[in-house]
Chain A
Amino acid sequence: MKAFSRLFPLSVLALTSFVALQLPAQDWVHTGTNLGNDRIRIAAADLKLVGADPQTPTLKAAFDATLYSDLASAGIFDLVSKSLIPQAMPGSPQEISLPQWSAAPSNAAMVAFGALSASNGRLIVYGWLFDTRNTGNPQVLGKQYNETASEEMARTVAHRFADEIILRLGGGINGIAETKIYFVSSRTGSKEIWVMDYDGQNQHAVTHLGSISLSPRIAPDNSRLAFSSLGRDGWAIRMYSLELGRTVSFPAGTAGGSNLSPAWSGDGSKIAFSSSRSGDSEIWVADSSGGNLRKLTSFRGPDVAPCWNPRTNAQIAWVSGRTGLPQIYTMDLDGANVQRMTDGGYAVSPSWSPNGQALTFSWNRKYGPGAPGGQDIYYFDIASKRWLQLTHESGSNDYPSWAPDGRHIVFERAIGGHPQIWSMLADGTEQHQLTHTGSNQMPNWSWK
């Protein structure tokens, strides 16, 4: 009896588990908001040719390729591969059959299409963006471009159309297809400032000083270019007017000592730079006209490479070597509220994200002879002080610079001592090499 009463709960347990096994298993699917940010599935149809001008096929090819690469590198789209899009080439809203595009295999939620014609030296492009799921009211965007017929212009028009699409679907953030990247190149023998489109096309020199020019920084309104250059009096901050096509004076940047790494404030009214005129290298701020100069830091040890918070224009991040190895610090514009960001290693070249929330910089977290790890680009969230490594085990990476959309970063990567310019998305994916000839360094992404 006793044995039975001891066994009774056990047998009940065994029975209930047997019953539980017999029950039909219920499945649970957990889903909800904020579990991921799906990219928009978009298809870019090839433009339809209108007219028989012999120039049109080359223009069309340039447009199609540029639009495709712009949308692919925007970072917000899941672009339908060219091999999956329908064969039909719609040239107008009447010709497009939306079910064709929304069905497998393209499964596009959005489709960009249009028509191109060239006549009498004019290039006319009609472009539309349609929402394939909204059959009643599909048009999201309709554009017409009328420009001089040239391959360069076809590419520009494609950039503009891509920017319009990205602006509509990317939550009001302007596309970067028309932005430029300024960089230092030594392919002519001396280190000069060069410029290229954001995708690496159309590279050409800006300065021809025959000296050494470094760290170009373009003004927010694209009117002037500040850089440091080696002259008779040592390193000076110089200013190049892109409107006048010549260097203009910047008196604050020419006093004795080394003046290096200028940085524009987001409103274009001030320039911060490092200068050793007072003996030690410190951060100085001047008006963009060159007046009203004042010193922000007074610490022992070098203070270099300032960059502004472009959102508030009231904070500066910079590199300080007060504790030995260079570290990233931030401070307010009056030099107060100094905060150290990095906890060790060798951290240089900060760049502040356009929304003001994050920094990106080059960091060697295990610095020293024989230490593992290399110089890599990091994303650093200022509020939480958490970071994310963006580059891994490929060359020595330095000089990151944010794109104005806050989704892209351009940086310098040296593999085997040959520095080249690369760009990537701000999460470290889709890294592309932009330059291939000569040695190219210190990229700076324009503000618009």
Chain B
Amino acid sequence: MMDLLENSDELERELEPKLAREAFVAPATGSLLLHGALFGGLVLYSLVGGLFHHNFWGSPGAGGAIQVNLVSSAMPLPADQPPNNNVLATETPSQAPAEPAPKTKQAVDETAIPIAGKQVKKPQQQTAAKTQQHQPQPQQDNRAQYGEQAGSSIARATQAQNGSNGPASITAGDFGSRFGWYVDGINRKMATSWYKPEVDPRTPKGARVFLTFTIRKDGSPTDVQIDRASGSTTLDRSCQRGVQRVDTFGQLPSAYNSNTLKVSYYCEY
């Protein structure tokens, strides 16, 4: 009995460090591995990150302040903002089938040795004169387009050239390029007549409502309509009221030979 007790004591003594060792080693190894992996990841990240050139603002290479010049005034660049968010386009494809692909001509092996006694169909040589007689190939613009803006008549480059990058845009013709100062005037007038505090503050920042309205010859706006709502009724109504608050945008330029001007304007919260 004593022996047994001694034995069990010895067993316990023998087992204890083993158990303790086992309980410690496994998590410690795990922890070491995790730290090693994290550190390695960091080193790898900084190494890989260092390979690419980062353009920090105010980094020593940039030398503090940067003068920014408007390039668009010097050369006609495509507008850097998306051309027009306000596209009445459908997301589903049109039912009209696309034009059938032109049939591919049968390839004729020119290098093949003719077999004696067999009539070979010579490929018809098309002369230049003959192709002239053909109808010109119809442009691909008769295809149904979807998911993107159809070719519009706005000369984007000229619009940007006039600095009228504001929220107002003239939807047709060359008014924007000829009378950029008038479009600037619309933006300036709207900036003072739209009261932003009228908008519900829960409206997400950057929400835009697109309006269309018509400016009469005497400069008074009429026919104010929401073209694309922002989702916030207060923003929609405040923008609409902003236009209605304007008595006149100023008489339309006398060189402009139409009686009305159609304007698309957005208010951005």
Contact = CB atoms under 8 A, between A and B. Distances in A.
B157 to A, nearest CB: 12
Given A33-B167, A134-B177, A137-B178, A171 B27 contact: no
Contacts of B189: 171
A33 B268 contact: yes
Contact of A172 (B24, B166, B206, B250): B250
Interface in A126-176: 131, 133-134, 136-137, 140, 167-173
A244 interface: no
Q: Give the interface SS of chain B, mostly helix, strand, loop or mixed.
A: helix
Contact of A22 (B45, B162, B191): B45
Nearest to B194: A34
Interface string B159-182: 001110011000000000111110
A172 B27 contact: no
Contacts of B54: 24
Contacts of A171: 185, 188-189, 248-250
A37 interface: yes
A133 B162 contact: yes
A427 to B, nearest CB: 12
A137 B177 contact: yes
Q: With a 10 A CB-CB cut-off, give which of A1, A32, A36 has the most chain B CB atoms.
A: A32
Contacts of B179: 137
B46 A22 contact: yes
B181 A110 contact: yes
B139 to A, nearest CB: 28
Interface string B46-79: 1001000010110000000000000001000000
B86 interface: no
Contacts of A136: 158, 177
A133 B161 CA distance: 8
Counting contact residues on chain A (CB < 8 A from B), the size range is: 20 to 34
Counting contact residues on chain B (CB < 8 A from A), the size range is: 35 or more
A32 B38 CA distance: 42
B228 interface: no
Contacts of A131: 180-181
B188 A133 contact: no
Contacts of B249: 171-172
Nearest to A133: B163
Interface in B88-147: none
Contacts of A19: 42, 45
Contact of A27 (B57, B219, B268): B57
B181 A172 contact: no
Contact of B180 (A134, A167, A355): A134
Given A1-B27, A22-B45, A33-B166, A168 B250 contact: yes
B162 A355 contact: no
A133 B185 contact: no
Contacts of B177: 134, 136-137
Contacts of B251: 167, 172
A140 B181 contact: yes
B231 to A, nearest CB: 17
Contacts of A172: 219, 247-251
A25 interface: yes
A230 to B, nearest CB: 41
B196 A34 contact: yes
Interface string A248-283: 000000000000000000000000000000000000
B233 interface: no
A197 B57 CA distance: 53
B267 A168 contact: no
A33 B191 contact: yes
Contact of B162 (A18, A110, A134, A169): A134
B192 interface: yes
A27 B196 CA distance: 26
Contacts of B167: 33
A200 B178 CA distance: 38
A32 B235 CA distance: 15
Contacts of B247: 172, 355
B192 A37 contact: yes
Interface in B205-262: 206, 219, 247-251, 253
Given A167-B250, A171-B189, A32 B57 contact: no
A133 B181 CA distance: 9
A4 B179 CA distance: 72
Interface string B23-46: 110010001000000100010011
A133 B250 contact: no
Contacts of B46: 22
A7 to B, nearest CB: 10
A18 B187 CA distance: 46
Contacts of A134: 161-162, 177-178, 180-181
B27 A33 contact: no
Nearest to A168: B250
A38 B219 CA distance: 21
Interface string A26-68: 0100001110111010000000000000000000000000000
Contacts of B45: 19, 22
A1 B23 contact: yes
Interface of A: 1, 4, 15, 18-19, 22, 24-25, 27, 32-34, 36-38, 40, 102, 109-110, 131, 133-134, 136-137, 140, 167-173, 355
7 contacts: A4-B27, A33-B191, A34-B196, A34-B267, A134-B161, A169-B185, A172-B247
Which 3 interchain pairs have the tightest Cβ spacing? A172-B250, A172-B248, A171-B189
Given A34-B196, A169-B181, 11 more contacts: A24-B54, A33-B266, A34-B268, A37-B192, A38-B188, A40-B184, A109-B163, A140-B181, A171-B189, A172-B219, A173-B248
